[in-house]
Structure 1
Amino acid sequence: MGKKTIHVSDFSGTVLRPDDEMVRVVVLEHPDLVAGPVRLDATPTEVENIDDAALDVAVVEIHDGRDGDEPRRVVLTASEFDALATDVPMAQLLRTAERVKPPKARKTAEKIDYGTIEHAGKPHRGRVTEEESRIVREHLDEVNKRLADAGLRQIDPADPEHVARYGFDLPA
């Protein structure tokens, strides 16, 4: 028995022929995006005008002490943001403003235990313990659902890399 993969445009539902060109669109931010970036497939003609539709925007953080210590992130058109500068043109203001260093990544205080059902199967660079392997094999559907919900790659018991990593039995 063989398998046939059919590619379909996520935007239009159009079935793509094997010789059709496909474009990958990664959605990084969207009001309806809940679990991190996602990938959509499309045809080149479906996204050819996307650059024309792009907006000139300013993305700013407001550090005003509300919502705890977390800043609010605001996206507005560049012209609306530019209008806030009434003394000096915004372009000049941005050139002479104090530079901000990006925040340093915080190190987690506690070590993640991949030998638990909450973390088993998550991608990591360390050695896979026998306990993690056992949990992944015995609870594969639950582990894959959790991984998919988190936007992470799922575990395929037919993938040779996953077979070696988690100790799946090879199909006969």
Structure 2
Amino acid sequence: MGKKTIHVSDFSGTVLQPDDEVVRVVVLEHPDLVAGPVQLDATPIEVESIDDAALDVAVVEIHDRHGGGEPRRVVLTASEFDAMATDVPMAQLLRTAERVKPPKTRRSAEKVDYGTIEHAGKPHRGRVTEEEARLVRERLDEVNKRLADAGIREVDPSDPEHAARYGFPTAP
């Protein structure tokens, strides 16, 4: 049995041919976005008007007593923001304003537990634990759906490398 994957544009549903150029659009913020950034596939023609439709905006953080000590992020048009400067033009104000140092980031990233269904089957350099291998074997369809949705290679039990890595039986 073989598998055939058909790629379609997320915007229009148009079937994309193997030699078609695919444009990846990452949505970082949107009022309907609930679980973080997402990726959409499109054709170049479908996204060529994005730059023309782009707005000149100012993204600001308001640090005040509201919000329990956390800054509020506000997006407004650049012209609305510029109009707030009544003494000196905003362009001049921005050139002479005090620079903000970015917060220091921690180098120690959280360690990924591949022995959970959220991460089992993802490519990694480390040793595959028995728990990860068991999850991949027992819940292969679920693991592969999650991997495919994330644009990551799927686990193929007939691939000798995958069979050995996750403990799938191999043909004699």
Give the TM-score, by structure 1 length: 0.73
Structure 2 match to 1:158: 156
Per-residue deviation, residues 46-96 of structure 1 (Å, max 9, x unmatched): 111110000011111111132222211111111111111111111111111
Per-residue deviation, residues 15-40 of structure 1 (Å, max 9, x unmatched): 22333322211111111111222111
Q: Is the 8 A contact 1:122 1:152 kept in 2?
A: no
Q: Which amino acid aligns with 1:8?
A: V
Q: Is the 8 A contact 2:121 2:155 kept in 1?
A: no
Q: Is the 8 A contact 2:60 2:75 kept in 1?
A: yes
Gaps of 5+ in 2: none
- Secondary structure of 1:25's match? strand
Indicate the percent of aligned positions where both proteins have the same amino acid.
80
Q: Which amino acid aligns with 1:157?
A: V
Q: Which amino acid aligns with 2:9?
A: S
Q: Distance in 2 between matches of 1:156 and 1:48?
A: 31
For residues 63-82 of structure 1, the aligned pairs below 5 Å read 63-82=63-82
Q: Distance in 1 between matches of 2:8 and 2:111?
A: 41
Structure 2 match to 1:91: 91
- Secondary structure of 2:73's match? strand
- Secondary structure of 2:40's match? strand
Q: Distance in 1 between matches of 2:122 and 2:40?
A: 23
CA drift of 1:129 comes to 3.1
For residues 18-167 of structure 1, the aligned pairs below 5 Å read 18-106=18-106, 115=115, 127-139=127-139, 156-158=154-156, 163=163, 165-167=165-167
Q: Is the 8 A contact 1:163 1:170 kept in 2?
A: yes
Give the TM-score, by structure 2 length: 0.73
Per-residue deviation, residues 133-160 of structure 1 (Å, max 9, x unmatched): 3345445566678x67xx8567833176
